[in-house]
């Protein structure tokens, strides 16, 4: 078997994942923290003020990475939901459930920072345009997944029911992304492009990319942390959990 | 892949594709309602009913802003570079309100063809740059324009 595949299969086994998470979690956490400090410093102190918006554009350094994460995490969550539904892998169910609160947090940060950016620039905290509304729908989808999963007594059954909801909601992710292109919105269009030139000066772009990486690392850290404890709780009483607890004590 | 898993996979793909198609159709049908604002061309083509409230979006025409000396009343022209529409607004304009920048105004078209706004929001674009860069670009543009036209 291909070594990457084998590693993937091993990772699906609860004791292996637990050990993997315990070992790597701190590294993800520390590098996320470091990059956040660097990114914040560069964004809030070093980057020049915008020619039009002045200093208020700096909210972007929190708003944009959080918005990217809100959609990225939804993708990861839906993928794990699909794997949980098709292959019934226990770990995927837990990964799926652990994604939801992290994604909801990033979505809430996006909406709140967006409001504080909107007031000084647009003149309003909130408008019901396609971009803002679809992002709000994303928050409700996360809440729905969390709520539906916890409405079942059986965790595995709840996870599978919520996975169906999450997969139904996948349609919202491209809508959020393309909303500024498909419709007239108050929200501005895309600034950072993977293909083609970004319409932001490079001195202002770097802190943004560092923050994007920092939030990705934080997500991995938080996902490992949550899944690890959910795993230990679900498998409690099993031999490997007892051994791991003894080891940690 | 065993048949049960294959069936589940197909079911999920079918579900996502079906919902995608349904949403796509619904949004295409509702295209007009999802748009946040109308452009001056759309308004002048008769796309909006007279006397009813709607949002107008476009660029504030350069040199069109007139402020009333004694009140907060402001007059300006919103353009999409094809058609122009005069706008009247009484109130405090947002900080980013500038000629050459975009605005979204909520209000209604009055009989004289003037759009009377009750709210004006500034729409900024996706370009971010330091002041020096913006000045350099403006200077370059001005230079190009002066080179292009015959000097007196």
List pLDDT tens digits, range A70-123: 999 999 999 999 999 999 999 999 999 999 999 999 999 999 999 999 998 898
What integer pLDDT is reported at residue A220 of this predicted model? 97
- Give the integer Cα–Cα distance in Å for A25 and A80: 20
CA distance B31 to chain A (A): 8
What integer pLDDT is reported at residue A221 of this predicted model? 98
- Interface TM-score (ipTM) > 0.90: no
Backbone angles phi, psi at A9, to 5 degrees: -65, -40
CB contact A237 to B (< 8 Å) = no
Interface of B with A in 25-84 (CB under 8 A): 27, 31, 34-39, 57
Both tokens of B128, joined, read 């971010």
What integer pLDDT is reported at residue A190 of this predicted model? 87
The answer to whether B56 and B38 have CB atoms below 8 angstroms apart is yes
The residue written with tokens 């999802």 in the block is: B34
- Give the integer Cα–Cα distance in Å for A138 and A103: 9
CB contact A188 to B (< 8 Å) = yes
Mean pLDDT within A210-225: 97
Scanning every residue of chain A, which has its alpha carbon at the shortest distance from the alpha carbon of B138? A51
- pLDDT tens digit string along A49-59? 998 888 889 99
- pLDDT tens digit string along A144-189? 999 999 999 999 999 999 999 999 999 999 999 999 988 888 898 8
Mean pLDDT within A17-33: 95
Both tokens of A60, joined, read 């972007």
Find the angle CA(A96)-CA(A213)-CA(A77) to the nearest 5 degrees.
10
Scanning every residue of chain B, which has its alpha carbon at the shortest distance from the alpha carbon of A120? B95
Which residues are CB-contacts of B97 (< 8 A; sequence separation ≥ 6)? B60, B103, B120, B122
- Give the integer Cα–Cα distance in Å for A53 and B98: 11
The answer to whether A139 and A93 have CB atoms below 8 angstroms apart is no
Which bin fits B100, alpha (ψ -120 to 50), beta or left (φ > 0)? left
**Fold assignment, B36-123:** OB fold (Dihydrolipoamide Acetyltransferase, E2P) (2.40.50)
Residues of A in contact with B129 (CB under 8 A): 50-51, 200-201, 204
What integer pLDDT is reported at residue B148 of this predicted model? 59
Q: Is A16 exposed, middle or buried (0-12, 13-18, 19+ CB in 10 A)?
A: middle
Query: How many CB pairs lie under 8 A apart between chains A and B?
Result: 122
Closest C-alpha among A122, A142, A134, A141 to residue A180: A134
Scanning every residue of chain B, which has its alpha carbon at the shortest distance from the alpha carbon of A57? B128
What integer pLDDT is reported at residue A218 of this predicted model? 98
Q: Is A183 in contact with B57 (Cβ distance < 8 A)?
A: no
Count how many Cα atoms sit within 13 Å of the Cα of residue B36 in the half-sphere of its side chain: 25
The answer to whether A185 and B102 have CB atoms below 8 angstroms apart is no
Scanning every residue of chain B, which has its alpha carbon at the shortest distance from the alpha carbon of A171? B20
Q: Give just the sign of the alpha carbon dihedral A164, A166, A167, A169.
A: positive
- pLDDT tens digit string along A184-204? 888 988 888 877 778 898 889
Mutate one of A49, A50, A52, A187 to test the B interface: name it (highest B CB count within 10 A): A52
> Model confidence at A67, in pLDDT bands (50, 70, 90)?
very high
Reading chain B (152 residues) residue by residue, the pLDDT tens digits are 788 899 999 999 999 999 999 999 988 888 777 778 888 988 888 777 777 888 899 999 999 888 888 888 899 999 999 999 999 999 888 888 888 888 999 999 887 889 999 999 998 888 888 888 888 888 888 888 777 555 44
Distances (CA, A) of A62 to A40, A59, A84, A223, B151: 8, 6, 32, 20, 49
Mutate one of A122, A170, A196 to test the B interface: name it (highest B CB count within 10 A): A122
Residues of A in contact with B20 (CB under 8 A): 171
Interface of A with B in 2-61 (CB under 8 A): 48-53, 57, 60
Residues of B in contact with A124 (CB under 8 A): 119, 121
Domain ranges of chain B: 3-32, 36-123
Distances (CA, A) of A169 to A164, B111, B144: 9, 45, 50
- Give the integer Cα–Cα distance in Å for A68 and A184: 21
pLDDT at A135 over 80: yes
Residues of B in contact with A190 (CB under 8 A): 126
- Give the integer Cα–Cα distance in Å for B127 and A52: 9
DSSP code for B53: E
pLDDT at A249 over 80: no
Residues of B in contact with A182 (CB under 8 A): 27, 34
The residue written with tokens 């794990």 in the block is: A80
């Amino acid at each position: 078997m291909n070594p990457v595949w084998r590693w993937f299969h091993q990772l699906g086994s609860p004791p292996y994942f637990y050990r993997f998470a315990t070992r790597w979690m701190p590294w993800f956490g520390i590098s996320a923290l470091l990059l956040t400090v660097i990114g914040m410093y560069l964004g809030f102190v070093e980057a020049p003020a915008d020619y039009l918006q002045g200093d208020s554009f700096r909210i972007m350094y929190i708003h944009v990475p959080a918005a990217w994460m809100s959609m990225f995490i939804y993708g990861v969550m839906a993928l794990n939901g699909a794997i949980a539904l098709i292959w019934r892998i226990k770990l995927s169910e837990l990964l799926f459930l652990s994604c939801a609160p992290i994604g909801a947090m990033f979505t809430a940060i996006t909406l709140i920072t967006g409001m504080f950016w909107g007031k000084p620039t647009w003149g309003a905290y909130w408008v019901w345009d396609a971009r803002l509304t679809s992002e709000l729908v994303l928050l409700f989808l996360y809440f729905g997944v969390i709520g539906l999963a916890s409405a079942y007594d059986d965790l595995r059954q709840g996870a599978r029911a919520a996975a169906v909801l999450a997969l139904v909601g996948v349609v919202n992710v491209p809508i959020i992304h393309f909303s500024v292109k498909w419709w007239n919105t108050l929200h501005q269009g895309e600034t950072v492009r993977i293909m083609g030139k970004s319409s932001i000066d490079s001195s202002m772009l770097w802190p943004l990319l560092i923050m994007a990486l920092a939030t990705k690392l934080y997500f991995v850290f938080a996902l490992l942390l949550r899944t690890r404890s959910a795993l230990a709780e679900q498998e409690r009483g099993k031999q490997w959990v007892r051994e791991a607890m003894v080891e940690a004590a | 892949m065993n048949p049960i898993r294959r069936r589940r996979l197909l079911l999920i793909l079918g579900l996502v594709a079906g919902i995608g198609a349904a949403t796509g159709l619904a949004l295409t049908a509702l295209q007009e309602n999802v748009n946040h604002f109308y452009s001056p061309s759309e308004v002048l083509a008769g796309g909006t009913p007279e006397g009813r409230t709607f949002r107008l979006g476009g660029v504030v025409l350069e040199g069109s802003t007139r402020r009333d000396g004694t009140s907060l009343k402001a007059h300006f022209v919103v353009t999409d570079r094809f058609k122009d529409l005069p706008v009247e607004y009484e109130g405090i304009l947002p900080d980013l309100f500038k000629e050459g920048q975009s605005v979204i105004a909520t209000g209604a078209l009055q009989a004289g063809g003037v759009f009377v706004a009750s709210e004006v929001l500034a729409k900024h674009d996706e370009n971010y740059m330091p002041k020096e860069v913006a000045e350099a670009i403006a200077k370059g543009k001005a230079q190009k324009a002066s080179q292009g036209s015959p000097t007196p």
